[in-house]
Every structure is written in C-alpha cells, then in structure tokens.
C-alpha cells in the first residue's frame, strides 16, 4: 500500500507539472515579448529578428519587440539574456558566434548551457569576394597567389577579431597552408567599403551583403564556402570544387531562450516559427536575402551547437585566438 501511495503521489505530481506547463503554453504570451539582438540595427541579424518578430506578433497577438544591444561581439547582450527571467518573454536572435564566443572570451559570465535552443531560422555560406583588380579569379588561383607571394601576405578584412569570418579565414589558412594578414574592422560594412575602395583585396561576405555589389561589378566572387553552389551564384564554384576538399564554413541564425524557460513555451515558439519560415511571405524574404530557410527542432539545434563546438575548438586553438 505504501508503494502504491508513493506511486500515486508521484503520478499526481507529474500530472500537475504537465498540466501547469500546458496551462502556461495556453495563455502564453500575455504581455510583450523581447527579442534581443547583439548587433546594431540594419544588419542581417536585425532584419531577420524583425521579420520573425512581426510574424509572431500577428499570430500570437502580443508585441514582439526587437531590442538592439551591440558590443563585444554580441556578448554583452547575450549575458543579459542569460540572466533574464526564464518565462518565455526574453528571447535572443543568435548566430554562429554564439558558440565560438564561449571559446574565445576567457572571462565570459555565461556558458552555452545557460540557454535553451528554440530553432534555427536560416543559414548561409560565405562568399569569398575580392576587389575586381585583384589578380586571382577563383579559390585555386587565390591559394597559389597567396603561397607565391611570401614577401607580402594578403590582407584579409573581417568584421572583427573572433568574428565568424575571422575564424573561417583561419580555417582556410590551416587547410590551404597559407598565412594571410588579418585586418579586423568594426563590422562587415566598413570592411566591404574598404574592399570596394581597394584598401584591402579580399573578405568573406554573406550573400545578403555582397550580391548587389557582385551584380553591378564592384566586386567579384572567387568561391562559396558551402558544400553546394549557391542558387543565386550558380557559376561560382565551391571551395571543395576548387581543390580545398572538405572546407565548409557558414553562418546560421537561430532563436534561443534562457535555460529554464518552460518546454511547453519553447515548443509553442518552435511550432510557430517553423511554420512562419516554411511559408510565404517570410520564406521568400529570407531567400531574397541569400539565406536558406531551415526551421529545425530544438533537439536538432542542440545537436548543431555541439557539432559546432567540436569543429571550431581545434581551429581556435591552433590559431591561438583569445579575446578579453
């Protein structure tokens, strides 16, 4: 009888927790929801957050407010969300650097486990883009040129130390046996402006960033970092096709919440966001930006975070990159 009583109590408690979770999901959201973005307004992160936030607001009948808090490669904003109330009213739009930041900054006051994955919204490779006057016209020629010019290393611009582009550049150096001169900027826009102006010869850019300038001839594309060619640039070969077999670097965009956010709320948000990005007009808008819509489960997002940790830890270690 005692065992039966204990089992009955356990069952009742489990049922109570489940019922409470379902009740939370049924009434969520009751007030405005914040979507934090760790970058300045106007970039891809901000645009995606506003697209998703607007669609969620229309569906769930509460404001989804995008709050921009740039600084320290988005770690200031990320730390704030990690400390925020885990009630579903604090979300964050993160990118690939969400993982690498935890390996680069020695004194972060948060870790990956402080967040609960909701879904990957979209992903995109980088395009290796160059000033039209730069001699190489593809990745193979670029690597040969970099190796033959030992007296003068190639300047390679990035949005900053520890950025996804910086780490992708280091991976290229390690796989190709080259050594480029890293030129960090305060963002992708100023790096691309100097590229167009001929101050630096080459950068990694997202298709969103580079497509308009490729179309008007202000830049030229040498290769794409994905396993397959980009539909928007069907004539530009991948790095693997150009001889750097296995090279793969991309940037993904996802939504996370503080770690103890109720699973029922996470599942509701996942369901809504996946449906939003699976259908028009948001799917078309993402594709126009040069992105591939994804819409993963929370579990698949968690697996991606783990695989990214393993992939980039060795690259960062060999390159000896650390940030304060």
Among 284, 207, 295, smallest CA distance to 250 is for 207
Position 20 confidence tier, pLDDT thresholds 50, 70, 90:
very low
- The confidence score (pLDDT) of residue 129 equals 98
Position 191 confidence tier, pLDDT thresholds 50, 70, 90:
very high
Handedness of CA 153, 158, 207, 238 (dihedral sign): positive
Can 31-124+251-319 and 127-224 be said to share one CATH topology? yes
Position 14 confidence tier, pLDDT thresholds 50, 70, 90:
very low
Domains of the chain, residue spans: 31-124+251-319, 127-224
Q: Which fold has domain 31-124+251-319?
A: D-Maltodextrin-Binding Protein; domain 2 (3.40.190)
- The confidence score (pLDDT) of residue 23 equals 52
Handedness of CA 24, 28, 34, 35 (dihedral sign): positive
Among 237, 207, 234, 232, smallest CA distance to 219 is for 207
Q: Does domain 127-224 have CATH number 3.40.190.10?
A: yes
Give the per-residue SS3 of 32-63: CEEEEECCCCCCHHHHHHHHHHHHHHHHHCCC
Kindly report the pTM of this predicted structure.
0.85
How big is the chain by its Cα radius of gyration, in Å?
Answer: 22
């Amino acid at each position: 009888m005692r065992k039966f009583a204990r089992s009955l109590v356990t069952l009742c408690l489990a049922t109570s927790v489940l019922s409470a979770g379902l009740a939370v999901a049924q009434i969520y959201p009751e007030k405005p929801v914040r979507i934090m973005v760790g970058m300045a307004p106007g970039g891809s992160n901000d645009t995606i957050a506003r697209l998703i936030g607007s669609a969620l607001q229309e569906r769930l009948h509460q404001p989804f407010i995008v709050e921009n808090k740039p600084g320290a490669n988005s770690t200031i904003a990320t730390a704030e969300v990690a400390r925020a109330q885990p009630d579903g009213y604090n979300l964050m739009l993160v990118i690939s650097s969400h993982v690498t930041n935890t390996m680069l900054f020695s004194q972060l006051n948060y870790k990956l486990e402080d967040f609960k994955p909701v879904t990957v919204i979209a992903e995109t490779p980088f395009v290796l883009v160059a000033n039209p006057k730069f001699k190489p016209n593809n990745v193979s020629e670029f690597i040969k040129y970099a190796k033959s010019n030992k007296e003068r290393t190639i300047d390679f611009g990035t949005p900053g130390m520890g950025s996804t582009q910086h780490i992708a550049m280091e991976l290229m150096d390690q796989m190709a046996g080259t050594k480029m001169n890293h030129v960090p900027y305060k963002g992708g826009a100023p790096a691309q402006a100097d590229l167009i102006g001929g101050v630096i010869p080459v950068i990694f850019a997202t298709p969103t960033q580079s497509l308009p300038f490729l179309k008007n001839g202000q830049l030229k594309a040498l290769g794409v970092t994905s396993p397959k060619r980009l539909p928007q640039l069907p004539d530009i070969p991948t790095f693997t096709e150009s001889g750097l077999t296995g090279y793969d670097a991309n940037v993904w965009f996802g939504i996370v919440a503080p770690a103890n956010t109720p699973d029922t709320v996470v599942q509701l948000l996942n369901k809504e966001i996946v449906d939003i990005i699976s259908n028009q007009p948001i799917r078309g808008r993402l594709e126009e930006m040069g992105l591939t819509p994804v819409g993963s489960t929370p579990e698949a997002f968690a697996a991606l975070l783990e695989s990214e940790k393993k992939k980039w830890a060795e690259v960062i270690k060999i390159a000896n990159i650390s940030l304060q």
